[in-house]
Amino acid sequence: MKKILIAGLALAFSTSSFNARAEWMTKVEDDLFSGGKEAMLTGSISPMAGIVFDCTKNSLSMAYIEKDLLTHGHQSLKLLS
């Protein structure tokens, strides 16, 4: 009985789809200083947070950002690194 229950749960989880939310935007430009390319990949992982990857010829950096509501009701981005 336990094996049938485990098999049923495994089948249910494998056939159901899970909702994932991610929006990605890429920007690639010529790097005037190195002669190569530079790229920035920005991803929204929730309505209030995102991740930014910045890549140049010799380096890769990553930053986690969150939206912060100011006291005047304006939105800004707070950088957490």
Residue 61: inside a domain: yes
Residue 13: inside a domain: no
Q: Would you state the structure tokens that stand for residue 63, as one six-digit string?
A: 């930053």
CA distance 76 to 2: 53
pLDDT value of residue 45:
83
Separation in Å, CA 3 to CA 6, 11, 13, 28? 5, 12, 15, 52
Please tell me whether residue 8 adopts helix, strand or coil conformation. Answer: helix
Give 1-58 pLDDT, tens digit per residue. 677 767 766 766 666 555 556 688 889 998 777 788 889 999 888 878 889 999 887 8
CA distance 53 to 24: 11
pLDDT value of residue 62:
92
Residue 11: inside a domain: no
pLDDT value of residue 24:
85
pLDDT surpasses 70 at 71:
no
Domain count, the chain: 1
pLDDT surpasses 80 at 70:
no
Give me the domain span that covers residue 29.
Answer: 20-80
pLDDT value of residue 15:
62
Measured in whole angstroms, how far is the alpha carbon of residue 47 from the centre of its chain?
11
pLDDT value of residue 37:
85
